[in-house]
Amino acid sequence: MRTQDPFAPFADCLVSEEAFDWAFSRLGATERAWIKKNIAQLHTLYFDQAGGSSCWERSWSQGFYSRQEKTPCRASAVCFPADFHSPARMVAAVLPPLASGAKRFCAVRVGTGDPSWDPILLGALELAGVEEVYDMDPERYRQWLEMAGGDPSVRLELLEDEQGILDREGGLAGGALRLPPVRELGIWFQESGQWDLAALQSAHPGIRLMCGSAEKSCLPQGEKTFLGSLSEFAAQGFDALYVPKHLFREAMAHCCRVLGPGQEGCWIWPEISGQHFAQTKLCLSSAIREDPFS
């Protein structure tokens, strides 16, 4: 039986306004600027294709009639493990459901019950407009998932669930969009110093970076490096490639996520479609031939 509010029984897990204020006050100006740039780009990409309610009716020449209705889902949530810390990848996960017009959106962190937060992550959620954030231990999350996950009008994103803690039971009625873990990023250098590696490390804490180039003199000191051609480098299987714009076509032959200079603190999830956050209803009927004598 569908509950009117799957979040109501877990109000005690809600992150306080004081925690948001604390996190936001600790964001540096550079961190804040990168997060805002990421949000602005994603807002343009996704709100330009904004959802909302729509209806199409058509009589087909093949002899049938169809009516399709699409409405935003009743609620949506992004669920993520407590060891997830990337502000860029979080913002890229929350903007599409916000753009879809979902009537309610929240974030759910699943961990050990430790109330401490990485301020850049909580600050990024606030800047993106997500202030309903829950912090649950695995048992409370399992209880919540049984309620929310059984509702076909609730859509979930499971963000980088490498340990499999977010969907142990399976069978989510509304379907879950599983965004894969990110482990290693490839950065291609054609000249020294052309990438802001500090911004990459801030946007993706703990992620391995590999720097590649055809010229040894272009490679930075103190980083894992690769000397060879771009095609050899791109074939390493990175989760994202960073290359100059004129190399996008070649890079996209190896990776679905390619970013250029000036995008070091940003991210995109090509796996996300606005259709995931919509409820679609479809009617079919044989076409009824009108009687010309009636």
pTM of the model: 0.87
- Phi then psi for 271, rounded to 5 degrees? -70, -15
pLDDT of residue 101: 82
Pick left, alpha or beta for residue 269 (phi over 0 → left; psi -120 to 50 → alpha; otherwise beta).
beta
pLDDT by position in tens, the chain (length 294): 454 677 888 899 999 999 999 999 999 999 999 999 999 999 998 875 555 667 878 888 888 888 887 777 788 899 999 999 999 999 999 999 988 888 889 999 998 767 789 999 999 999 999 989 999 999 999 888 888 777 778 888 999 998 888 875 555 655 688 999 999 999 999 999 999 999 999 999 999 999 999 999 999 998 999 999 999 999 999 999 999 999 999 999 999 999 999 999 999 999 998 777 777 788 888 876 554 444
DSSP state of 220: P
Full set of structural domains in the chain with CATH: 13-181 (3.40.50.1980), 184-259 (3.40.50)
pLDDT of residue 147: 81
How many other C-beta atoms can be found within 10 angstroms of the C-beta atom of residue 30? 13
pLDDT of residue 8: 82
Query: Looking at the DSSP assignment, which residues form a beta bridge with residue 107?
Result: 78, 133
pLDDT of residue 136: 93
How many other C-beta atoms can be found within 10 angstroms of the C-beta atom of residue 70? 17
pLDDT of residue 194: 94
pLDDT of residue 59: 86
Contact indicator for 70, 280 with CB cutoff of 8 Å: yes
Q: How far apart are CA 238 and CA 213, in angstroms?
A: 15
Q: How far apart are CA 174 and CA 279, in angstroms?
A: 9
Q: How far apart are CA 37 and CA 84, in angstroms?
A: 21
pLDDT of residue 217: 95
Extract the tokens encoding 275: 């259709």
